[in-house]
Chain A
Amino acid sequence: GAVVSQHPSWVICKSGTSVKIECRSLDFQATTMFWYRQFPKQSLMLMATSNEGSKATYEQGVEKDKFLINHASLTLSTLTVTSAHPEDSSFYICSATAAGPNTEAFFGQGTRLTVV
């Protein structure tokens, strides 16, 4: 299947700082990327949907000013957690889909964020 790469795989940051997570589609053009958040032993919760060149659509309850999403190219989307706090510590996962009907989503390997 297609490859989606996330960077970094893990990051530790101090409370109050911002951290950026990258999601790249390596071998296809991703017109749509999704960002999920997963707490330990829980399911994936969709945070937002981003389409290349458009503003992201956030799910209810997700603060768009805190979780900044940029999808400036067909192969790269970024999630920036601003003014991070310990409660933002989680596993963040992106997925990407190509253009066209019935194209499946491919997931990145995830980023473990720890805010201390």
Chain B
Amino acid sequence: QQQVKQSPQSLIVQKGGISIINCAYENTAFDYFPWYQQFPGKGPALLIAIRPDVSEKKEGRFTISFNKSAKQFSLHIMDSQPGDSATYFCAASGAAGNKLTFGGGTRVLVKP
């Protein structure tokens, strides 16, 4: 059972554009929603995370939007740069530090 569904699977965006990745979850016990960036051959690195008590969180060019009633959350990458080309994973857990359930991943390619 895939508890966190992520879309799209891949995304091509022009430099300076906005990349938008969406995730939906099923388990209402999830209470922590991080996004990770992974480059080929490397482990994932935490980008930004949100808890359900807020609807939006922004850190630099990265923004998470959270819709608790719809059980959906999304990552917006503003002013996308070629260095942002990577695979992005959303995840969810009962709390930070608990085991994570990952979405399927989105491969983002930013064209110069």
Binding site for B on A (CB under 8 A): 1, 4, 6, 32, 34, 41-46, 49, 91, 93, 95, 97-98, 100-110, 112
Contacts and interface: CB of A to CB of B under 8 A. Distances in A.
Interface residues of B, number: 22
Given A6-B43, A93-B43, A103 B96 contact: yes
B44 A44 contact: yes
B73 to A, nearest CB: 16
Given A42-B105, A44-B102, 18 more contacts: A41-B107, A42-B104, A43-B89, A43-B104, A44-B44, A91-B41, A93-B43, A95-B43, A95-B100, A101-B95, A104-B34, A104-B46, A105-B46, A107-B46, A108-B43, A109-B42, A110-B41, A110-B43
B97 interface: yes
14 contacts: A34-B99, A41-B107, A42-B104, A43-B104, A44-B102, A46-B101, A93-B43, A93-B44, A101-B96, A107-B44, A107-B46, A108-B43, A109-B42, A110-B42
Nearest to A48: B99
Contacts of B105: 41-43
Count chain B CB atoms within 10 A of each CB in A43, A95, A102 and give the residue with the most.
A43
Contacts of B101: 46
B24 interface: no
A48 to B, nearest CB: 9
B102 A104 contact: no
Contacts of B107: 41
Contacts of B32: 102
Contacts of A110: 41-43
Interface string B20-45: 00000000000010101000011111
B64 interface: no
A95 B89 CA distance: 15
B70 to A, nearest CB: 22
